[in-house]
Amino acid sequence: MKRVLNATRVAALIGDFDRSPAYEGVAHGLRDLIIAGRIPTGIRLPSERELTEALGVSRTTVARAYALLRELGFLESRQGSGSVAVLPQSDTHRGDHLLRPTDGGVVAGDVIDLTCAAPSPGPGLMRAYERATAELAPYLGGTGYYPSGLPSLRELVAATFTDRGVPTSADQILVVPGALAGLAVAARALLSAGDRVVVESPTYPNAIAALTEAGARVVGVDTSDRGWDPTTMAATIRQVSPRLAYLVPDFHNPTGALIGDEARDIVARELVRGRTTAVVDESMLDVDLDGGPLPRPFAAYAADTITLGSMSKGYWGGLRVGWIRAPRDRMDALIGARLSLDLGTPVFEQLVAIELLQSREETLAHRRTTLRASRDAALSALATHLPDWRVARPRGGLSLWCELPESGASALAREATRHGVLLTPGPAFAPEGGMDRYLRVPYALPPETMTEAVTRIAAAWRETLDLPKGLTTPRRTLVA
C-alpha cells in the first residue's frame, strides 16, 4: 500500500504561498518540497478535496495545481492509487532525498553531478583486485559464508582501533557491506518503534532514512554552524533521553566538522549518565586532507559506543566493505540482527579490502593529495564568484557546507539543473526540516570540474535571486 501524506501536514509544509495566482503558488510550493526531499517520491498526496479543505482554497485551485504539477512531471495520477509525488524523468535530474551515486560525476553530456560526496577509485585499486584474485583459491573449498567477516580482515580492522588508542580484538569487529549497512544493523539490533534517536542537524540523509525506517523518532541538534556546541548537545540528550545518538564527529557529512576532545568528553559523559548508546559513524576518517593530530576516538570516551567504519571514502564505495566495532557484550545482538538482513559481506571484496589496508598509507596519501586540490579549487572559485557565501575550509571530509546570504537553496538546486549541475540543497540533510539557507558542495571531482561547477552554480544563484520570492522558497515549518 502506498504511504499517504495527510492534508494538514501538506498544508503546513506548504505554509504561505503566493496567491497570484493561487494554483501556481500551491503547485510551486509542492514542487519545491518534492525537489528538496521534504515530500518523498512515491508518497501519495492527499485527495483534491482534502487538500482544498486544509488549505482553505477553492477546489479549482487545487485541481489546477495538481494538473500543473502533472504537466511539470512532479505528479503521477494512477487509477486506484491517487496522485503520487515523482521527480521528472530526465537524464539530468537524478536528485533524490536518498543520495544516489552516478558515474564519475558527469552524468549525461556535460552535466556535473554534485549530489554525491564520494570519490572515484585511486590508482591502487586495480592492483588490489588483481592481488586479491591470487588469494581467493583457498576460500573456494568452503561455503564462503562468513557472517561476521573474514578473520584476517577482522584482525586488521581491530588493529587499526588498537593503534588509535582503543584496544580492540577481532571478535569485536563485524564486517558489513558499508557503514550505512552497519547503521541499519545497529538500528535493527537496538531500536524499537518509537524510540528517540538524537542526531546532528544537518546530517547524512541516508542515515536519517535508515533510522526512520527502523521506527525511530529522530531529534536533531543544530550543528549547522559546523560543529557541536557540546553544552546544547548534552542538554538535548538530557531532555530527550534518547535510546541512541547517531553522531559523525570526524569530518562530518555535510559540514566537515571535526569535533575536539573536550566536546567529545562532555557529550560522552552525558550519554553514559543517561545510558544512551552512541552510534558513531567514522566513514570520513580516512579523508583527513591536511593531517595533524586527531582527537581520540569517541569509543575512548564512552566504552559502550558502537563505531561504524568504511572503505568507501578512502578507497572506493563500489567495494561495499565497512565494519561495526562494538563492546563484546553487544556482539551477539548485532550478529543476530545482521543475520536477518544478509549472511555476510562478499569474500572477494573482503580480500580486496585486506590488500588495500595493507598498502594503506600509499593509497590514502594519493587520495588526500587529489582531494586537497579539488577542495581548494572549489573554495577559490566560491571566493571569486560567490563572495557573500559563508564557507569554511574543512580539514577533511568530502564537502563544503555553504551558508547562503538568504534562503533559496532548493530553488537554486532547481535552477542549477538548467545550468548542468545537480545539487542537493540543505533541506535534504535536515532531519526536522529547514536548512534552505544551506547548500552542500561535495569536492570529490577533479579541480577543473569543481571550478566549472561553481561558475555554473554562481550563474544559477544570480537567476534564483531574480525569481519572485513566494514562488521559489519552500516552507520550513516542521518541528517533530
Ligand X SMILES: Cc1ncc(COP(=O)(O)O)c(C=O)c1O
Residue closer to ligand X, measured from CB, 253 or 305 = 253
**Could you give the C-alpha distances from 318 to 99, 105, 178, 352, in angstroms and in order?**
15, 14, 10, 11
Residue number with the smallest Cβ distance to ligand X: 178
Which three three-digit cell numbers place residue 88? Answer: 521528472
Look at the block and give the residue holding cell 561495526: 324
Q: Which three cell numbers stand for residue 387?
A: 563572495
Instruction: Lay out the site mask for ligand X across 292-311 (x = CB under 6 A, - = otherwise).
Output: ------------------x-
- 54: cell is 486544509
User: Judged by CB, which is closer to ligand X: 52, or 399?
Assistant: 399
Asked if residue 423 lies in contact with residue 457, where contact means CB atoms within 8 angstroms, the answer is: yes
Stretch binding ligand X (CB under 6 A), from 87-95, 137-145, 176-184, 233-241: 176-184
Please report whether residue 248 would count as binding ligand X according to CB under 6 A.
Answer: yes
State yes or no: residue 322 binds ligand X (CB under 6 A): yes
Measured CA to CA, the distance from residue 159 to residue 463 in angstroms comes to: 52
Q: What letter represents residue 348's amino acid?
A: F
The grid cell for 141 is 573449498
CB of 249 to ligand X, least distance (A): 11
Q: Is the distance from CB of 55 to CB of 14 less than 8 angstroms? A: yes
Q: Determine, following the binding rule CB under 6 A, whether residue 113 of this chain makes contact with ligand X.
A: no
User: Is residue 317 part of the contact set for ligand X (CB under 6 A)?
Assistant: yes
Smallest distance, ligand X to C-beta of residue 310, A? 3
Please report whether residue 253 would count as binding ligand X according to CB under 6 A.
Answer: yes
Give min distance, CB of 377 to ligand X, in A.
21
Instruction: Please report whether residue 30 would count as binding ligand X according to CB under 6 A.
Output: no
Look at strands 75-78 and 82-85 and give their pairing: antiparallel
Residue 122 binding ligand X, by CB under 6 A: no
Stretch that binds ligand X, among 125-133, 178-186, 347-355, 463-471 (CB under 6 A): 178-186
442 scored as a contact of ligand X (CB under 6 A)? no
Q: Which stretch binds ligand X (CB under 6 A): 137-145, 177-185, 257-265, 384-392?
A: 177-185
Least distance from ligand X to the Cβ atom of residue 443, Å: 13
Q: How far is the CB of 46 from ligand X (least distance, A)?
A: 33
Grid cell in block for residue 139: 576460500
Cβ 69 to ligand X, closest distance in Å? 30
Here the cell at position 163 is: 593503534
Residue 178 touching ligand X (CB under 6 A): yes
- Contact between 312 and ligand X per CB under 6 A: yes
Is 331 a binding residue for ligand X by CB under 6 A? The answer is no
State yes or no: residue 214 binds ligand X (CB under 6 A): no
User: Which of residues 248 and 382 has its CB atom nearest to ligand X in the complex?
Assistant: 248
For strands 438-442 and 421-425, give the pairing: antiparallel
Annotate 220-247 with b (16+ C-beta within 10 A) or e (fewer). bbbbbebbbebeebbebbeebebbbbbb
Which residue lies nearer to ligand X by CB, 118 or 156?
Answer: 118
Q: Tell me the H-state helices in 315-439.
A: 328-339, 347-358, 360-385, 409-418
Q: Please tell me the distance from the alpha carbon of residue 324 to that of residue 327, in angstroms, as a whole number.
A: 10
Measure the CA–CA gap between 32 and 16, rounded to whole angstroms. 13
Q: Under the rule (CB under 6 A), what is the footprint of ligand X?
A: 117-118, 178-180, 204, 248, 253, 281, 283, 310, 312, 317, 322
